[in-house]
Every structure is written in C-alpha cells, then in structure tokens.
C-alpha cells in the first residue's frame, strides 16, 4: 500500500507527531502513544489513511495545544538520550 494517498497528503501535518513525539517523550495523556507502539514509521503514517477524519482533527487539536504549552514553558518534556549526551 502507498503512503501517497489523498487523505495522507491532506493530513501531512500529522506525520511527524504520529511517527514520534517531537518533544522527546510524550506526556501521559498523549493520544499518539498507541501509534508509537507500532514502532514502524510506515505503519504509523498508514494509520492516517484509516483513522476517521474527525479523530484526525482531534489529534491535530491536541498536538497544537501541546506545542503551545511547550512554547509557553508550561511543561518540559523529558530529555532524550542525545540531549543528555550533548553534541560530542
């Protein structure tokens, strides 16, 4: 199956958050966690094609609110291994 579908293209902004938490580790109530459990980026992206559009809209709303909280320093995600080790 192709990941180049109309629905996936229309919801391309959800590819990053459905593939991995952009902040390192998701907060406990993150609705994307079940998709991370797939542990396969192609399968994660393919989910966009089968998730009802209303649910995709809710995921988008959650992600945008989460980004806003992060930008406002309302919460700090846990550091990833690369952040802990630094650049060298």
DSSP 14: G
pLDDT band at residue 82 under the 50/70/90 scheme: very low
Q: What is the pLDDT of residues 41-70, one digit of tens each?
A: 999 999 999 999 999 999 999 999 998 988
pLDDT band at residue 78 under the 50/70/90 scheme: low
Q: What per-residue confidence (pLDDT) applies to 2?
A: 76
Determine what percent of the chain is predicted with pLDDT higher than 90. 62
In the predicted structure, residue 76 carries a pLDDT above the cut 70? no
CA dihedral (36, 22, 25, 1) in degrees, to 10, reads: 10
Q: For the purposes of burial, counting CB atoms within 10 Å of the CB of 5, is it exposed (0-12), middle (13-18) or buried (19 or more)?
A: middle
In the predicted structure, residue 88 carries a pLDDT above the cut 50? no
Classified as helix, coil or strand, 58 is helix
Q: Which two tokens stand for residue 16?
A: 């990053």
Residue with structure tokens 């909280």?
A: 69
Q: Which two tokens stand for residue 78?
A: 């846990």
DSSP 22: T
Please give the average per-residue pLDDT across 23-48, as a whole number.
92
Where do the structural domains in the chain lie, given as residue ranges? 6-85
């Amino acid at each position: 199956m192709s990941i180049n579908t109309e629905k996936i293209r229309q919801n391309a902004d959800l590819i990053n958050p459905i593939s991995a938490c952009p902040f390192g580790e998701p907060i406990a109530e993150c609705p994307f966690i079940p998709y991370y459990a797939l542990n396969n980026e192609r399968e994660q992206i393919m989910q966009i094609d089968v998730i009802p559009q209303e649910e995709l809209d809710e995921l988008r709303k959650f992600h945008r609110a989460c980004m806003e909280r992060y930008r406002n320093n309302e919460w700090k995600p846990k550091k990833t291994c690369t952040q802990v080790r630094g650049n060298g």
